A and B are shown apart, each in its own frame.
Chain A
Amino acid sequence: MAIDLWIDVILCLSVLFVASSIFLVKNTFSAIVLFICLGLVVMFCWIRLNAIDVAIAEAAIGSGLTGAMLIAAWRKLAFNESGDQPDEQKEKSE
């Protein structure tokens, strides 16, 4: 196989690695950051597949704006009412 195809194989393997690690980390904030990384790696896939318009839109909307919304929602969902630690870490310490 040509060298182009080996680069594509490495790109696909990194996509699958980042996507599977979203569901294997314990911390929710790490999962959201890994989702933003997945959006950027997938943007490279679009560039390799000659889809430049899709790549620009994916980088800005798919990973940028969706990531910002997810982090803003994480602040509301993961904390207790009094504003202390997230619930997961409290359960671990108990």
Chain B
Amino acid sequence: MILMTQSMLFSLCAVILLAIGLIGFLLTSDFLRKLLALNVIGMAIFMVLIAAANNDPNAVDPLPHAMVLTGIVVAAAGTALGLNLASKIVKFARSIQGENTAIENKKSNATQDSSSGQTD
């Protein structure tokens, strides 16, 4: 069998985490959960990098640490942009819905006035 070192264990955990994130992304229709799934996939990729850096625990490789540091911060900024976009879309959709209900109310009021005018 494979020699189960710490690095190999965390690499396998990262692959299963990637699968969980990908399945969660594809099977959910709620927007916030899709964003959470993207972040989970990002964490899985960071785990792959840092597990590869820890192949020899006495000689830790600092280059993937710098890459993951950059990656965490950029992922947070990307999540912020996605949430801003979602809030803008929801606000626009609600304003459109408000206009539609106002138009329908106007139409029903106009038909009521015309019918009451005929009966009088």
Contacts and interface: CB of A to CB of B under 8 A. Distances in A.
Contact of A54 (B6, B68, B91): B68
Contact of B72 (A23, A28, A31, A58): A58
Interface in A17-54: 19-20, 22-23, 28, 31-32, 35, 38-39, 42, 45-46, 48-51, 53-54
A28 B94 CA distance: 20
Contacts of B103: none
A61 to B, nearest CB: 5
Contacts of B90: 76-77
A42 B68 CA distance: 13
Contact of A50 (B4, B17, B60, B75): B60
Interface string B60-98: 100001001100110110011001001100110010001
Contacts of A28: 30, 32-33
Interface residues of B, number: 49
A62 B69 contact: no
A56 to B, nearest CB: 10
Interface in A47-94: 48-51, 53-54, 57-58, 61-62, 65-66, 69-70, 72-74, 76-78, 81
Interface of A: 1, 4-5, 8-9, 12, 15-16, 19-20, 22-23, 28, 31-32, 35, 38-39, 42, 45-46, 48-51, 53-54, 57-58, 61-62, 65-66, 69-70, 72-74, 76-78, 81
